[in-house]
Structure formats: C-alpha cells, structure tokens
C-alpha cells in the first residue's frame, strides 16, 4: 500500500463461517478516507460553524478553512489565474452546474458516465460514437467539432468502466482550434494522475471528494470564470448575492454565485486535505505503484481461462487502475456475490452508469475491479486466486442456488 486508508483492518463475515480482512477493489466507486483526511475532519469538527457571515471565533475558523480549501484544489490542479473553484456536492452536481452555464451546443462521446452524458441537453447535445481505436475516435471528434460550431467538448478523463485515458492535451488543442472549450470529467482521473490545467489547456474540470479519499458530499467544478459569471446562478438563495431588493437582485460573481445556501465546510476541508496528501506523493511513485498493481491485476485476470478483459480501444496507450472483465458462463452479479461472500472481496458489477457504452460493447453487464492507494500486491493475488477458483469449479456451479443468503 502507498498510503494509509480507513477500513484496511476491516473484518467482514464469510458465508462459510468466520471472518476475513476486507479486500477493497471498488475504489472507482468510492475511495476510503486517507489518514490525513480523517485527521483534518477530527481537527475541524469542534469548530465547524456558519461560514462567511459569522463573526464568532468558530465561524472565522470555519470560513478560513473553507476558503483555504479552494487554494488546495487550485494547487492540486495547477489551475490558471482566471479559473475559479466552485464547491459542489459531487461530479454530477458540477457537470449539471456547468451545463446550466454553457453558452452553446456540447459534443460528447457515447462512452461517458451518465453524469457526463445526460446534463448536456440545454442547448443541444451532439453525440460522437467512439470508434474501436483512439485515433479514429479523435478523428470523429474533430469531424464533429468542424462540422458546425460547438461551445464545449465534454470528455471523460478516464473511463469509469475500463480506466482507459484519452489524449486530453491533444483534445484540448483540437477543441480550441475549433472554437470550443473542453471540460474533463475527472472523477476517475484525479485520484490516479497529477493534472495541470495550465499545461494541458483544460478549461473546466470536475471531480468528487468521495472518489479522492474523502467522504461523500463535496465535489468541485474548476474552470474559466467568464461563463460562470455570465450565467444565472445554479441555485438561488443566501450567499449567492451582493444585494437584494424586492424587485431587483445583484448576484455575486463566481464562486459565490453558484454556492447558495450553507456550504459543506467539513466536506470541502476533507477534500482539500486529500488534495494536499496526493500532492505530497511524488508523481513517479504514484504512477509506479499503480502501474505495478494494475499490470499484475490485468495480466493475472487475463491468464485465467474464460476471463475476458473489456476494452473500448485496441490502441489505448494509457489506463488508470481499473479493470473491467467478464467470466464466461457466469453472470457478473453471481461472480461479485461469490467474491464477497466467500472471499471478502468487494468489486462492482453491472452497467456502471454507462449504458450506451455497455450496449456498444455488446455487454449486458461486466465486473469491475479498481485499485487505489491502499491496495497491495497480496490483495491483487487474492482476487486473481478467487476468480481462478470459481472458474475451476465450473459454470454449472450456481451460487444463487447453493446459498439463498447471498442470492444477488
């Protein structure tokens, strides 16, 4: 493991009796809290109070922590001076917020998580179907952006199904050449890669605290101020205004403009602690940990007869620590239930909120194993061993029938 995360000592019950330590392969859904995050919450909890409007000591500490959290996110993403950090509830909230500000049509791929697919209908969503190579997919994006003006290209940083990463800097250049801006849904990318908004040319970026080793309830939208300042506030209410009369309202600029209501101070502070902790890990060390374990996971799974790894592209050069796979003759849900019940291993199964992608891949569902900072090589070997054991028992084996308790 590269860092201490909560729950690593968790013991979980096994269907055959007894308990075992929990092996978490569901970091892509939500990542357990880093020790630094837990410490920050414990430190702030006694002081948390209303921000911005309170003059008391606790309010001032809370306000300071909340505003300092924007600075931590800015440094984590190396944001440019004209890019602001808006705190939201999660990536979904961030993308809906930006969709309410986008001044024209949005181009998206059909591989996206629903959060980066469904919101973009305000001025028209134009869907590009991904090809089976990255190169051809990029060509199709260029074709769509050139065909008529679009305001935004909204792409995933890393697929939440397969972990595959698109050439984001190239796409940023292409979008700009075509007069569009680029939004990166970094829900899956941010926990795995150091991102520089300044160097990459990314205009807008969103991620969730709960996938970045912090608790639920806080996310961010970071991006160029002008669209955010020109749009109607995402939510109307206290804190989003400069002044209000009975007939007139003068809205505040971003980020306050889009942060009406009492904010999630603890969530923002926790998310900031995670950003700081990730910044403190050397980028090469982070990449080496991930590549070593992800390669071990993929090659171990691929070596099992009947296990098929799922890919979008045949030529993708980069991939974060996520592996999607199917096991011939087994329902993904049964495999996931077996791994949990007999081995204490947590994976995800289903269609991963990416129905168009699963349909394009010809799949009704799959399994997804995702790794993070708390994953060890022993965890990876445990998962591979458990899948191999299931395959040895054979497809006639039906978990649901043998044990109603764990019937998925």
In the complex, least distance from residue 85 CB atom to ligand PMP, rounded to whole angstroms: 17
Longest pairwise C-alpha distance within the chain: 73
In three-state secondary structure terms, 12 is strand
In the complex, least distance from residue 158 CB atom to ligand PMP, rounded to whole angstroms: 7
Is 353 or 400 the residue whose CB approaches ligand PMP more closely? 353
Which H or E run contains 102? none
Cβ atoms of residues 406 and 340 within 8 Å: yes
Name residues contacting ligand PMP, limited to 115-174 (CB under 6 A). Answer: 115-116, 156, 160
Cβ atoms of residues 236 and 94 within 8 Å: no
96 in contact with ligand PMP (CB under 6 A): no
| Nearest residue to 154 (alpha-carbon basis) of 123, 188, 189, 112 | 112
In the complex, least distance from residue 408 CB atom to ligand PMP, rounded to whole angstroms: 20
Query: Taking contact as CB under 6 A, which single stretch among the options 84-92, 131-139, 340-348, 399-407 is the one that binds ligand PMP?
Result: 84-92
Cβ atoms of residues 1 and 373 within 8 Å: yes
Is 269 or 320 the residue whose CB approaches ligand PMP more closely? 320
Name residues contacting ligand PMP, limited to 163-222 (CB under 6 A). Answer: 185, 187-188, 208, 210
Q: What is the Cα Rg of the chain in Å?
A: 22
91 in contact with ligand PMP (CB under 6 A): yes
- The position carrying tokens 């414990």 is 42
What is the C-alpha separation between 348 and 228, in angstroms, rounded? 35
CA dist 271 → 182, 227, 378 (Å): 24, 25, 29
Neighbours of 31 (CB within 10 A): 25
Edge to edge, what strands does the sheet with 106-109 contain? Answer: 83-88, 219-224, 204-208, 181-185, 152-156, 106-109, 125-128
Is 115 or 384 the residue whose CB approaches ligand PMP more closely? 115
* Strand partners of residue 88: 219
Query: Taking contact as CB under 6 A, which single stretch among the options 39-47, 110-118, 223-231, 377-385 is the one that binds ligand PMP?
Result: 110-118
Name residues contacting ligand PMP, limited to 242-261 (CB under 6 A). Answer: none
88 in contact with ligand PMP (CB under 6 A): no
Cβ atoms of residues 154 and 183 within 8 Å: yes
In the complex, least distance from residue 114 CB atom to ligand PMP, rounded to whole angstroms: 8
In the complex, least distance from residue 370 CB atom to ligand PMP, rounded to whole angstroms: 10
In the complex, least distance from residue 94 CB atom to ligand PMP, rounded to whole angstroms: 8
Binding ligand PMP (rule: CB under 6 A), the pick from 90, 106, 200, 264 is 90
Token pair in block for residue 154:
């909204």
Binding ligand PMP (rule: CB under 6 A), the pick from 40, 70, 113, 193 is 113
Query: Taking contact as CB under 6 A, which single stretch among the options 31-39, 87-95, 146-154, 394-402 is the one that binds ligand PMP?
Result: 87-95
What is the C-alpha separation between 190 and 207, in angstroms, rounded? 7
Is 137 or 188 the residue whose CB approaches ligand PMP more closely? 188
Determine whether 319 is an active site residue: no
Q: Give the total residue count for the chain.
A: 408
Binding ligand PMP (rule: CB under 6 A), the pick from 59, 72, 92, 370 is 92
The 348-367 site mask, x for binding ligand PMP (CB under 6 A), equals -----x--------------
The residues carrying an active-site annotation are 353
Q: Which residues bind ligand PMP (CB under 6 A)?
A: 90-92, 113, 115-116, 156, 160, 185, 187-188, 208, 210, 353
């Amino acid at each position: 493991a590269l860092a201490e995360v909560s729950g690593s000592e968790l013991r979980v019950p096994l269907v055959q009796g007894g308990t075992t330590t929990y092996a978490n392969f569901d970091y892509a859904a939500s990542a357990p809290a880093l020790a630094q995050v837990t410490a920050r919450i414990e430190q702030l909890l006694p002081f948390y109070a209303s921000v911005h409007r309170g003059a008391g000591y606790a309010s001032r500490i809370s306000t300071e922590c909340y505003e300092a959290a924007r600075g931590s996110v800015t440094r984590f993403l190396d944001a440019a001076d004209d890019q602001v950090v808006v705190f939201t509830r999660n990536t979904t909230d961030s993308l809906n917020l930006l969709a309410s500000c986008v001044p024209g049509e949005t181009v998206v791929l059909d591989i996206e998580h629903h959060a980066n697919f469904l919101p973009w209908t305000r001025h028209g969503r134009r869907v590009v179907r991904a090809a089976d190579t990255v190169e051809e997919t990029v060509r199709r994006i260029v074709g769509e952006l050139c065909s008529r003006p679009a305001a935004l290209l909204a792409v995933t940083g890393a697929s939440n199904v397969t972990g595959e990463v698109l050439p984001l800097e190239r796409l940023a250049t292409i979008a700009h050449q075509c007069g569009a801006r680029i939004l990166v849904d970094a829900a899956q990318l941010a926990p795995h890669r150091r991102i520089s908004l300044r160097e990459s040319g990314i205009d807008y970026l969103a991620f969730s605290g709960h996938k970045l080793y912090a608790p639920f309830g806080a996310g961010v939208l970071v991006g160029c101020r002008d669209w955010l300042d020109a749009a109607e506030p995402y939510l109307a209410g206290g804190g989003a205004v400069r002044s209000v009369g009975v007939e007139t309202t003068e809205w505040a600029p971003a980020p306050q403009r889009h942060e009406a209501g009492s904010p999630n101070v603890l969530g923002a502070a926790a998310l900031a602690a995670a950003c700081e902790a990730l910044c403190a890990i050397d980028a090469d060390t982070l990449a080496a940990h991930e590549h070593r374990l992800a390669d071990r996971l993929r090659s171990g799974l691929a070596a099992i007869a009947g296990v098929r790894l799922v890919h979008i592209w045949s030529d993708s050069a980069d991939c974060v620590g996520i592996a999607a796979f199917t096991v011939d003759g087994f329902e993904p849900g049964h495999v996931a239930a077996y791994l949990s019940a007999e081995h204490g291993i947590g994976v995800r199964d289903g269609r991963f909120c990416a129905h168009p992608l699963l349909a394009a891949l010809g799949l009704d569902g799959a399994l997804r194993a995702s790794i993070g900072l708390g994953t060890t090589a022993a965890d990876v070997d445990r998962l591979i061993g458990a899948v191999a054991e299931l395959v040895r028992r054979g497809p006639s084996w039906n978990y649901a029938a043998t044990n109603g308790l764990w019937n998925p």
